[in-house]
Amino acid sequence: MTLIDGIFIDGRWQAGNGATLEVVDPATGRVIAQVSGGDAAAIDTAARAAKRAFPAWKRTPARQRGELLRAIARAVEAERERLVALQMQCNGKPRFEAELDVGDVVATFDYYADCCAAGTGLSGNPVTLPDAAFAASVRFEPVGPVGLIVPWNFPMVTSAWKLAPALAAGCTVVLKPSELTPLTEIELVKIAQQAGLPDGVLNLVCGAGPEVGAALVAHPAIAKLSFTGSNKVGQAVMVSAAERVARVSLELGGKSALIVLDDADLDQAVSLALGGAFFNAGQMCSATSRILVARALYPDFIERFRAAAEALKVAGPDAGAEMGPLISRAQQQRVLGFIEQGLAEGGLLLSDGRRHAQRSDGYFIGPTVFTDLSTDSVLWREEIFGPVACVRSFSDDAEAIALANDSDFGLVATIVGGDVGRTEQVAAELEVGLVWINSPQVIFPHTAWGGFKQSGIGRELGPWGLRAFQEIKHVVASAAP
């Protein structure tokens, strides 16, 4: 098996100096590639390269930076089918999910290319002062070299969400992908290289274990860290960055609610609940795995939801799957442990996905549905990152809002209901960063992504994603001759 270079620094691909990464197809359990990994020394070299490249990239006109982002978008589009197939193989994603991911990458690079072309959020603006003897302006300047650490559940997508605005802002980058899914990031970096990014502007270091990420977070040349992943690791990133007052953005966990009001369309509610809980096999921070249903609709909803969950085809992507495997054996065992804990806590298992874990191929668990869990249950309160949904009823809107907000997290929520004014009123009371009303979890690069409470710090996408990689500078000058 050919060893793939997993280090790209200063415009050159390099062999690794750390542990070799084995990439496993989660639908089969077979090793599909080996990638050379880096270590702390590779991070040091990459960070220094990013620092050297920063002054010239910062001075590159925004319109020119946007042209390069547009070229990346067109190249991803041209390679769409190959990248879709790679997503399916590396993550076990069903084809429709992989196609959405690649489309998201294209849309994100196009959006920030548009920002660069128009100067949106990049050019200075005058500031009105109360004293005519002075004139002032505000500038938005790139924060400097940045470190981007991305997870395995949406590889390439999460990278695009960070990389496109960072490059648009004028920052240089060191990207550290997950050790489980480095192949998609390697391909994205190759595309960016072919698009003509100057040497040192984008650097990649693949690596296993905590050493590589910790070295990136602690490196003095890195002015800003943008991390997506678990709360435990996010806390460690924040502590390390605090030691040198480095800027951080954290996109962390979620335990989100889907609220079915008593005037909801049941077919629509079931469809949105299925997608919210089981898309990407539940391996997403936005999973609406706490499903709250108005008492009048609860019996019908439960029966329809259970039947629909059990009807989903759980398989590898080549078998026409509606839901794929979990990413690894370790993740499969972790989720199975949560299911056992839910049973120990007295939960009623309406749909048992454990039967799929007995298969000889891959790391599967089927859609799993619990009822009768208390609000103190681990399954009700903690992020599972697997296809496990918990359903309970509520008596009125106030109780639904209270149950939804009773969480350490506040990333997203979904509301299903017939009265527009009522759904808007419920949305206004929810302590989350994004609310979908009668909608699947559609994400546009124009809208912000991020949450309240322990779901993170800062926002990605939209103009807010650009601001995450900028410092604000005011200039005040005397108007006197």
pLDDT tens, residue by residue, 295-314: 999 999 999 999 999 999 99
pTM of full prediction above 0.95: yes
* 145 neighbors 226 (Cβ within 8 angstroms): no
Does the structure show a pLDDT above 90 at 100? Answer: yes
* Residue 20 neighbours by CB distance under 10 Å: 14
pLDDT of residue 324: 96
Tell me how far apart the alpha carbons of residues 422 and 401 are, in angstroms, rounded to a whole number: 12
Grade residue 170 by pLDDT with cuts at 50, 70 and 90: very high
Convert the pLDDT of each residue in 179-217 to its tens digit.
999 999 999 999 999 999 999 999 999 998 889 999 999
Q: For residue 165, give both structure tokens.
A: 């605005």
pLDDT band at 294 (very low <50, low <70, confident <90, very high): very high
Lowest average pLDDT, out of 170-179, 289-298, 311-320, 386-395, goes to: 311-320
Average pLDDT, the chain: 96
What is d(CA 403, CA 390) in angstroms, rounded to the nearest whole number? 13
| Res. 432 pLDDT band, cuts 50 70 90 | very high
Q: For residue 136, what are the β-bridge partners?
A: 127, 476
- pLDDT computed for residue 16 by the predictor: 79
What was the pLDDT predicted at 161?
A: 98
Q: Quote the CA–CA distance of 203 and 221 in Å, as a whole number.
A: 13
**pLDDT tens track for 333-372:** 999 999 999 999 999 999 999 999 988 889 999 999 999 9
Residue among 175, 266, 272, 187 nearest 225 (CA): 175
Cα–Cα–Cα angle for 171, 172, 177, nearest 5°?
115
How many whole angstroms separate alpha carbon 57 and alpha carbon 53?
6
pLDDT-derived band at 1 (thresholds 50, 70, 90) equals: confident
Q: What number is the average pLDDT over the span 131-145? A: 95
Q: Which amino acid is at 72?
A: I
Whole-number pLDDT of residue 360:
83
- Say if CB 157 and CB 148 are below 8 A apart: no
Answer yes or no: are the C-beta atoms of 203 and 8 closer than 8 Å: yes
Domains within the chain, CATH numbers bracketed: 3-252+455-476 (3.40.605.10), 257-444 (3.40.309.10)
Q: How confident is the model at residue 429 (pLDDT cuts 50, 70, 90)?
A: very high
Distance of CA 215 to the CA centre of its chain: 22
Strand-pair category, 388-394 with 368-371: parallel
| Cβ–Cβ under 8 Å, residues 222 and 214 | no
Two tokens, residue 320:
């026409």
Pairing of strands 3-4, 30-36: parallel
Percent of the chain beyond pLDDT 70?
Answer: 100
pLDDT of residue 320: 85
pLDDT confidence of 318, banded at 50, 70, 90? confident
Report whether pLDDT(64) > 90. yes
Residues recognised as catalytic: 251, 285
Question: How many other C-beta atoms lie within 10 A of the C-beta of residue 473?
Answer: 11
Burial of 309 (0-12, 13-18, 19+ CB in 10 A): buried
Cα separation, 51 vs 220, in Å, equals 10
Question: pLDDT grade, residue 220 (50/70/90)?
Answer: very high
**pLDDT at residue 123, rounded to an integer:** 84
Q: Can you tell me the mean pLDDT for 403-432? A: 98
Question: Helix 210-218 vs helix 231-242: angle between axes, to the nearest 10 degrees?
Answer: 40
**Residue 81 confidence class, pLDDT cut points 50, 70, 90:** very high
